[in-house]
Every structure is written in structure tokens, then in C-alpha cells.
Structure 1
Amino acid sequence: MATSTDSQIDLTTCSICLETFKTPKNFPCLHSFCEGCLQTYITTSFGQTKGGVNCPVCRMFVSKPDDISIEEWAKNLPTNYILVSLIDLNETKSGQKLCAECARENESENACSWCVNCAEALCKSCYRSHRRNKTSSDHKLVELDKGLDRDIPLYHADVFCSEHTEEKVKVYCEDHSAICCMTCVMLNHRKCDHVRSIEDAASKLKKSKQTEEFSQNLQDLKICLTRLCKNRTISLQTLDLDLKQIRDDIDSLFKGLSCHLTKMKRNIMSEISDVEKEITSEIENEHFEIKCKIPAVENDLSLFQTSMKHAPPAQFIQAMEKLEEQKKLLENFVRDQSKTLRDIRVTFKANEKLMEISKIIQEFGEVNITRNTNYELQHSINRKLKIMTSMPTLTSKVDTGFHVTGIAFLENGQVVLSNHNSKKIELLEPRSSTILSSLSLPSFPWGIKIMRATEGSVAVEGKGLTFFNIQRDRILKVTEMKTEVNRDFVHHRGQFYIGCNRKIIVYDKLLRKVREITVNCDVGYMAVRDENTMCFTCESRGRELCCITMDGIPVFTYSQDKLQGTRGVTVDHTGYIYACGLNSRNVHQLSHNGKLQRIVYDNLPTGPYCIHFNTQGDKAVIGCEGKILLYDLE
């Protein structure tokens, strides 16, 4: 068996044997396999799933026809003649093809031309005979050294009417979206206004915006599926970190306890292992199912592009209908996955009595599994993947009378903000411009981060972080963490990265100091850029935005004359970075690698301190000197 050396989709290679197709057969999902490979796969796989088999590529379930035996199933599947012709054409281009007519007489002659109608290669002698023969005199013949690099149809097969089986289809009725023979036109389409020849209809379809959008939809589907795969990969990594942390906590707690605890430790470790197997298996199955769809999209895209270039009109229209059905199935799958996938976290809650009276303890603790909907993932899948290309619409302006130095959306649309003047954080209902609740702080508040649905933290100047929870429109203080802090922090994969003067201090989820990252400026506002990097504004230099890895390795630095007094920074769902210019009164939109795309908010009424997007990605809020600006995004 051959080995796969190229990740790019090759329509002529069977994904089972990795060899060039031998009699390619189609499954309903449009994936093709050698007839022999498919028959072997069906024979060995049938019975594992009731009444059919799963496609080896995309895992789509294919039911076995009732009137066909398992042994005859592959043979009775439709042959992919486009692939047959493509293989012949490739062999012909490479000079490996012999004349098909001579081969039937057990003779070997090198081919010099290609008959589009017969989908066969011909030698010089047979080429002349083909021209002279009455039945083939009107066939389209292409000389190999002249025409094969052009976009010619691979195979010109006649398509016959489904109602009048002896008549060829010749026209396409746009009113009924149907290909028809001339008898159908006379009987059923006389009053239709838009009846075209097959050639004109196919040409119009190829040039239409529909094909552009279809191609883009398939590429967007691939992006979405890749995101879903990445989400599952991250979940596995997070699970591994969670379990490692739990085991460390258990080992630390276990030290110093008597042998009476050995049995309980064994029990809890066994429970963790069971959880690990259960969740790992669940995530891996989801990951595998999603990953299998990527080749499906790549196959559809390749088949679409090949059909656009080479398929004759009737086959092209039929292929588009099938591809459209397949695209809808993939779209439904992507939407379903984005709704049903859950971000899984595993936590360990130690038995409080364990530290007090070991004699009465009957259990070591409990392992909890939480499944949280990833709204950012879901909304990034469901909304169109497009960047902000024009000035957003200002929908509301709230005059606060104080400097808003930190701001964040909640999932319900409410906004939590830092009131710098009164040393409070406030809960705002933006639709009515009403302050619902306040929480007093010991010093000036700055950056705010929402870590879970209603749980967040705020950077308090000279004091550290204050953690809060919002219940029934009330802000409740939970705890404090004393640490150095300038303006902001980020929370990433269970760790806190605190911005300070010329360094970033890292704490774990138990608020224990882990390490320090040295940087070359005083850190201002901060944001997570992606899984491995973060951005921060340079407080000491005034017009710079820096990006580093989570280990402190520089990635890029952005500086621009039109960005003065850098303050707030955030990243939207598509990976674009936004930096506030307090003195320049604008917001710069940067690409993922730190290149200016556009100034999306310019000439603001007052200088912006902070910016944040809601989880749906359709609203933005900017905190300014004395004002809050709310925008609707396209």
C-alpha cells in the first residue's frame, strides 16, 4: 500500500489504499473509493452499525439498499466517470497513455489526441478513423500537445431525460430549476419565461455570484471545522492540566496523613482515572468526528473546482445539486456541533474535615465535572466570518460624569465598569442607562475581566485584584489577592498574568506566585491574543502595543504616530486586535500579526480608556473620560 506524502486533496487517489483509483465508486456523500477497496471495507464493517456502514472519510452513515446483497453493494454504487476521465487525462498528459482503441485489439500505440465525447485517448491512425466515422465525426477531439492544459470538459456523456428516457436533455428551466428534454419543454414548460440551453445555463451558473458564494461557503466551513477541532484539542490539553493540578493537590494534602488514608487515596485516584478515561474518550470521539468532516469539505471543494473547469453542463448542474445538499448537511453538522460541544473542566474539592479529624473521614474528596457552553466558539461559528470594514453604528451614549477605566460585557448584555473617580465598580444596564449596583474598593479601579458567566475580577491600583460575583443585579465581593499591579491583568488557562513595572507576575489558580516575566516597559492594559500569546500597552512609552508569548518571548511591537497615549486593548472573535489611543481619541484595528488594518473608531468625543466586545460579537462598548459609547456592529 502506498503512503500518503501530500496533505492536499488529490481527487484521483483512493483514501483507503492510497493508490490511483481502480473503478471509482461514489457514496451518497460524494466520497469515492476503489470498488475493490470499498467492497472489502463494507464486508468487514457491516454489522458494526445497524443497517449500513459509515463513510471511511466523513463518517456519514450510508444505508444498505434492501434489494442488494452486501457482496453486490459496492458493484451497484454509481461509478464516478468524471474521476475515470480525470485519471485517463492525467495519464495522457504525462505521456503514459496508450491508444484505447488499439488496446482493445491487444495492440500498443502511444496516444496523440483525446476524444472528449468518448473520454478516450487515440493514436494518429485511430484519430483519423474517428474523424471519418459517421457516428464519431462530430466528436470533440483535442491534440495532446496543444489542448490539455486548457479548461476542457473531462467527459462528454449524454444525459437522458428522467421522464422520456430515450431523449437527451437539452435545456434548463430556471423557473422550475430542472433540466429537460424538448418533449418536456413542449408539454410542461411552454409558459415558462426562463428556459435556456444547457450550455447557456451552465455558463451563467459558472459566472454567477452563487458559485463564488458556494466556494466561499465551503472554505468558511473548513475554517469552522478547523476551529471546532482546535477547541477539542485545547479541551484535551486543559483536561490534562486540570488533572495534573488535581493530582498535585491530592498529593500535597495526602502528605503527613497516616496509612489510614491510603485506601481513600486509592479510591479517589481511581475515580480520577475513570473520569480521565470518560472525558478523554468523549473529547477524542468528538474531535475525531469533527476532523473527519474536514476532508469532506476539501473533497467537495476540489470536486466543485474540478466540475467548474471540466464537467460538461448537465453533469456540472447535477454535481452542483449534490454538492449543495452535501454543503447543507455539513452546515447543519457545524451548527449542531457548535451548540452541543461543551468546554469540560474537572475540579477537586477536598473534604474540609480531613484536616481536622482524620478518624471520621470516609472519603478523600470529590471530583466534579463542569460542562460550560463556549459562547465565543458558538457565536464565531454561527455568525459570518467577516472583519469590521467600516465605521460601526453608534447606538447609545451614556454620560457618566466619571472616567471609565475598565469595562466588560456580561452574557445578558449588562456592562460592568470601573468608576475611577469614586473608586467603585458599577453594574450598568446600557439600554436604560441605569446603574443597578456598585461595589466600593480601597483604591482606584482599572481593568476588568469576566472569567465565567457572572464571575470577574478588577485590578485595584496599589492593592492587587478584587474578585466579585454578580447575583440578581448585585455586585458581591468574593475575595482579594494582594499583589503588585499597574492597570490590568489577564486570566488564561487557570493562571493570572499581572501587569507591573517592567515585569508580568504569574499566579496559579490557587493564587500562588509561579514566576515573573521580564519586559522592557511598564505594562498597561492587557489582553490574550491566542492560546500562546498576549498583548499589552506600554504605559511608559505612550504609543506602543507589544505582543509576547506566555513565556515572555517578543512577537511584535506596534507603534504609530496616530496612536497616542495607548490604553485599553482587546481581541475580537476573529483574532483582530484593538488598541485605544487616549490622546489621539481613536481605536486602531490590527491584524493578528500586528499590522494596522484601519482606524475603526476615530475622532471620538473624548479619549477612550478601554474597549470590549460582547460574546455574540455584534456589539462593542468603549469607556471614555466621562462617557460610555455603545456600538452595533455589522
Structure 2
Amino acid sequence: MATGGSSIYKGSDLIYDLSCSKCEENDLNTEAQHFCPECEHHLCNKCVKIHEEYFKKHAVYGRGDIHKWATFSMDRCDQHGKELEVLCDDHQELCCSVCVSLNHRLCKSISHLPDRAKGFHEKAEFRQLSAAVDKMRNRLDEMKKAGRKDQAKLKDSYKKIVAEIKFLRKEIDAILDQIEKATIEQLDNMIGDLEKDVNDDVVKCVKMNDQLKNMMEKINQMIGKRKETNAYIGYRKCTAKLTQADNLIGKIQRKPKEEIQYEFDKTIEPFLKSLKTFGFSEVKGSEANKNCAYQVVKSTQYNVRMKQETELCSITGICELPNGHIVISDGGSNSSIKLLNSQFEVIDHFDLPGPNDLCSIAANEVAVAVGTDTKKDEVQIIKVAQGRLQKKRKFTTDYICFSIAHHENQLYVGSKTALYQHTMDGRLVKKIHEDKSGKLTVVRCAVSPDGEIIYVSNFDGNKLISLDRCGRVLSSFTDPELQSVSGLCVSPSGLVFVSGGSSDTVIQVDSEGTKKLATLARKADGMNTPIALCLVENTSTLVVGGQKEDDIVVLQLGKI
């Protein structure tokens, strides 16, 4: 779609994304720069001046406020603002001249609207339209009322849970207060015993000091006939007292110096730090949904090999974008990233040596694990805009990049035998998991919607590993139908699917990764070394890609 002064040439006529409504009435072709929502007119710079003279109170929006321009007009194209003229029979879409030029030039059947509409207002389907609209509006009103009730219930639940949280906090505070009181009482008893012992020694020293002082005062005061005798007696007694004093000092000095040391319980602080919340918030019924078993209703194959490609495709990664487009990595000899539309047709691509796995990280961004079996591999960030793939940025790693997953601004990158956690700018947070029992023990990785479980497919060990955030193994799942475990995906609601490369099977496991819920597809359903899985949840379709296979397999799922 052209913007600003841009345009698309068709023959000698200039085709704008939005043309001036008033100029068109005079068979003139001028680009619209303004929009009046009250008149539903697109206006050029010249016509807007005339409009403002006649309609001074109308609010007119310029290109800077294009998001406020009218989005609905019965006989005009919602996207380009031009008059609707034809119906594309291939896509069953109403089109203006710009739509045809941009998107429907290769379509086989296009009908003129006046021809298609002749006598249509007399047909039963048109006459029934009003009743159908009324019925749908009533249903929408009922849903709105039900939604309001649900909102009120949610608010009540929220208030109740917050009150319970605050009550629990008070109980915890009371327990901590009691623990603090008991600890201080223990300390008081201990210091009382120590202080008594030290005080006894102090009292003995004071007493001995006073005795020596008194004896010397009496010796110095001696007079009269027995002066010499008394001096001798005083000397002997004082000498004996000095010996007692020396013994007292020695006894006190030989006592070990006692001081109070307190060793806190080392489990308390780490335990409290390990708690992220007081409990677990969960939506009722969510567990049942993510553990609901599915089966294949229909299997369809779509060829994704482009004409210029001479080698078979090897689909190593698949992810879905919010707009319904699919991005796949062709990691074989073709070495490319491809963008598919909702009909699974390749609409854009670019070459990228060594693409392995990929994942969606934002509304229009994808992260690709690019690996060439070196210690300088990289994660490439790709932007998808207007149906085109664009390289945005990248960061390198010191290990082989083989798989990748995303959760809450954190990237999880697998390197065949280890799993690492990175920030979005590439900073290494930590190594989460490592298994050197084989050469391919971390083939693919995925994260549960709440981030509490990290799933890892172990190719050499024929098992699915479930880890907690710290890398501790929660469970290890094996099944006879699952050989050479490779492909892995987790849907936004928590559905878990895993594939066996050599057994050519895709199975569904429970959200804990501990048991099989269903076997979805086998070789007879088109499975050929399935390694890439992606669930398109809003259509209940599982997209599967394999090695040396030009087709992706789209499995339509239904609840068992």
C-alpha cells in the first residue's frame, strides 16, 4: 500500500492508496491527504480548503492521524478507500482497482459487481439477511451480558484471593514474631550464664585487691615494742596473700575466652528466596484443556519447494505469526527461510546458511538458531513486515546453535548436548541443562505457557525430558512408538506434541510430560522423519515438517 507521496503505476495512470473523493467525482486522480469522518470523504490538499469553508465544525484528520480515518464504508474498499468494483471469485473478496492491481492480477476469475448483483435483492438469501443479523445481534447481546457477569465474578474472585493472601501474610508474620521471640529468649539464657561466670571472677579480683590494700596499710602503720615482730608477721601474711592473688589471676587467665556466636538456620533464607509467590494462580478448567486428547480428522500436504530450488527441502523449524502467516526454516541444501500465507503458499524467502530451528518472539519477529557445527554460531532475529522477511539483528554464541525457544523475553538455545538461557540482546544468563551421554541429547526445546517447565527432546536417549527453571529433571518420558525423539512443540494453552524421527510418529503427551494422551499420526498419514512441529491453535491444525521432503503435512485435529 502506498503512503505519503508514493504510488504504483498502471499503464500511464497513477494509482494511489487513497484518492480524493471530490476529485474522483470530476474524473480527476489526486492523492488524498485528509479524511472527514462525518462526510466519509477523502480529500486532497486543495479540496480540504473548500471543505473547511463549508463545514467549519467537522473534524478533519491528516496523514499523521491515519489510524483515525474511517474503517468502514459500504461501497468503498476498507483498505484503499476507493469504490468497490469487482469480486475475485478465486478468493471470494470484494476488490477495488488498487486491490486488483496489487493482489489479484494472477487470479483466474474476476466478476464485475453490477453483473453479480443483478436481481440479488430479490433472492431469498438477501431477504433472510435482516433476520440473520437480528439473530446474531441477539446472540452477541447475550454473550455481552454473560461476559459482564463473568467480569464481575472475576473481580470477586480477585478480591477474595487478595484477602486470603493478606491473611496468609499476617499468619506468616505472627509465626516469624514467635520464632524471633523464642530465639531471643534462648540468647538471653545463654548470655545470663556467661555474665554470671565473668562477674564471679570480677568480684574475686576486687576482694583480693582490697585485702592486699588493707594489709599494706596495717604494715605501714606499725609502731611500738613489737614493730619488728609485727613487720615480720605482716610480711609473711602479705606474701601468702600475694601467692593467693597470683593463683587467682592464673586460674582466671587459664579459662577459655568465651564469646557468643550465633549460627542462623541456613535453610530459611534460600527457601524464602526460592518462593516466587505464596501459591499458584490458575484458571479453572485450564488443566483439563491442556490435557484433552486429540485425534487427526484430516491430513493435507502442501508443497513448499520453490521452482528455482534443485534439492529436496528439509524443514527443520516451523512457527506461526499472529496474522496467520507461517515461517519455516529449510535447513537442508536449500538453506533458506520461507514465509507462507494462511493457504501455506510461499510468498517470500531469503537465503540463510545453516538455519536449524526457529521460534516466534514478538508479533512480527522470529528468532532463528543458525548453526554450522562451529563454536561461533549465531541467533538471527528476523522481522516480518508487509509480507516480507527482513534481517534485523543477530548475536553470536560460543557453542553450536541447534534449537531455540522463547518465553517472556528470554531465549532458550540448545546446542545438541546442552541448553542455555539468554536475554533478548544475547547476554548469556546461564547453562540450564547438559547431557553428554550422547551426541544428540538436546535436539529441540520448548517452554510451558507459565514458564515452569522446560521440555527437551533427547534423540539418542529416545525420550522427552521435562526440566524445572533451574534445570532439575522433573520427569523422563519414553514410549515404544517414539523412536529417535526429535520434533517438539507446546501450544499457548499448554498442549504438548512430540515426534519420533525414525518411528515416523507424532504423539500428544500430557502437560507434565509424563504420559501419552494419543498417537496422532504415523507414516501412513504422511509422516517422514518429522522434526518440525507447530500447532496453529485457533484452527486446531498441527503443521509438520520433515527431512528430505518437499511437502509440509497439515493435520486437522479434533478432540477425542
Identify the TM-score tier after normalising by the shorter chain.
0.3 to 0.5
Question: TM-score, normalization: structure 2?
Answer: 0.44
Larger Rg over CA atoms: 2
